[in-house]
Amino acid sequence: MPTIAVVQGHAAAAGFALALCHDYVLMRSDKGVLYMSEVDLGLPLPEYFGVLFRAKVGSVSARRDVLLGGMKIRGAEAVRLGIVDGAHEGEEEVKEAGMRLGEELGNRKLDGGVYGEMRKGLYPELCGVLGLQVGKPVLPTL
């Protein structure tokens, strides 16, 4: 089923990666940053982090700035870079936005099996490095 990450404060390193694992990411605009601290700490990235960022962050320059530059990204900038779907002022606002989105998606009554296979098809390299098998699409009979 669709997943939504609501980031209430800082999401660094694995927290940032966890947020990116969701279908939709919302964060606060008044507080918190997204940050990959590994370059500043002198730690190598696991292979799957690089694959995740290539799959979920479309801009090559944004990936460079985040992963190699240790850029700390606030809400409005994260929206501009296409990393998050929305930035909301305050704790209540971002929570309410997440609830609204969840209700909208829930009302669609999506087929979870189909949705999951479609999601895996969007990110085949990521699924491969994680050992998830991407199924063949089932075509409707006419």
CB half-sphere exposure, 95, CA atoms < 13 A: 5
Across the range 6-34, mean pLDDT stands at: 96
Arithmetic mean of pLDDT over the chain:
93
pTM above 0.75, yes or no: yes
User: Does 87 have pLDDT greater than 70?
Assistant: yes
Beta-carbon contacts of 84 under 8 Å, excluding residues fewer than 6 positions away, are 7, 19, 25, 26, 27, 34, 75, 78
Give the pLDDT score at 65: 97
Residue 30 has pLDDT above 60, yes or no: yes
Inter-CA distances, 4 with 49, 51, 87, 100, 140, Å: 19, 20, 13, 11, 29
Q: How confident is the model at residue 120 (pLDDT cuts 50, 70, 90)?
A: very high
Identify the pLDDT of residue 142: 57
Local confidence band at 133 (pLDDT 50, 70, 90 cut-offs) = confident
Q: What is the pLDDT of residue 134?
A: 77
